[in-house]
Homo-oligomer: A and B are copies of this chain.
């Protein structure tokens, strides 16, 4: 009886149904279970970033060793290759995300791995296959994960692992936002936070579809350099926030059509600039709030300009029975990446330097490329 309890508790860290008991107890049991484990079809021991309580990620996370777990007949044991540190991962650890993982929990939400071994009933995956958890699920910041076959989506393994590891959250958000709110053809879209990964994906995916993008970046010393970089990706126009502080803001658009769709990941005054640039009847989609300021909208923007304001949350979209659709789009995005038409800057960091990567992801070292853990 006690054995059963132990095993369930351990599996928590490998992504199965989360239970409430703390992992200190588990750590103490580690050796016992390890010894028993090799009798069955067991995973290798795993190293994982765990947190026992919600709080500042640099204080509540640490890397621990986890014992092997049993690989049941429908299970697949995956050796993780890479997993990014996304802002939403940080929010989950902080406990400010609406879906609050039960602690203790392992960090991470997306990533890519290679199949290490499979259970006796698994038919469609074999050792060596590259897989991603799709829809993504908690606990990708660890070296080995054992989950049921149905969780894993086999992907083409010819693209760089950092792209495979990050394709779900940011590129898929950009793709969905371009698809789900307006029926775009040769229209324009406007966005703030254009240097974010989603922002860069919006520029490239819009360009790929013949849609113009008008981009807003915050004022910074290297504005011109950033503008050139975004234009190289396909941005039609890039403005700093202060450049848009003019009376005739629409005059800046030249021959570009007034944008029908806007994306806001900043809030505050930057969101107001998106609203100003939108055309009559346009829609602004909020998917982030980097400035930690609310969106403020005049009454006449609603009544007379007929603007619609919406929100986008990938996790909700994926939970709405979209697993199959999600995988099809992942494949589509991976194809675009393979063709070299979707790029964004990332930095691969060895897993044992997690604390350095986390520090960068937390913004403590200024503007940094997306941090991707390499296992």
Residue in contact with A303 in the complex, picked from B286, B302, B303, B305, CB distance below 8 Å: B286
Copy tally for this chain in the complex stands at 2
What residues of chain B lie closer than 8 Å to A304, measured between beta carbons? 98, 311, 313, 316
Evaluate contact between B295 and A302: CB separation under 8 angstroms.
yes
Residue in contact with A299 in the complex, picked from B267, B300, B307, B316, CB distance below 8 Å: B267
Is A312 interfacial (CB 8 A cutoff)? yes
Is A252 interfacial (CB 8 A cutoff)? no
| Known A287-B303, A296-B294, A298-B294; contact A309-B312, beta-carbon cutoff 8 A | no
| Known A308-B308, A308-B309, A309-B308; contact A299-B289, beta-carbon cutoff 8 A | yes
Is A306 interfacial (CB 8 A cutoff)? yes
Residue in contact with A313 in the complex, picked from B267, B287, B296, B306, CB distance below 8 Å: B306
Complex: A240 Cα to B267 Cα, angstroms: 30
Complex: A206 Cα to B16 Cα, angstroms: 47
Kindly state the interface size class of chain A when it binds its partner: 20 to 34
Is A310 interfacial (CB 8 A cutoff)? yes
Is A288 interfacial (CB 8 A cutoff)? yes
Interface residues of A in 266-319 (CB under 8 A from B): 267, 285-289, 294-313, 316
Evaluate contact between B313 and A299: CB separation under 8 angstroms.
no
CB distance from A3 to the nearest CB of B (A): 40
Residue in contact with A306 in the complex, picked from B267, B289, B303, B316, CB distance below 8 Å: B316
Complex: A70 Cα to B287 Cα, angstroms: 60
Residue in contact with A297 in the complex, picked from B98, B287, B295, CB distance below 8 Å: B295
Evaluate contact between B308 and A310: CB separation under 8 angstroms.
yes
Interface residues of A in 316-366 (CB under 8 A from B): 316
What residues of chain B lie closer than 8 Å to A303, measured between beta carbons? 286-289, 311-313
Residues of A whose CB lies within 8 Å of any CB of B are 98, 267, 285-289, 294-313, 316
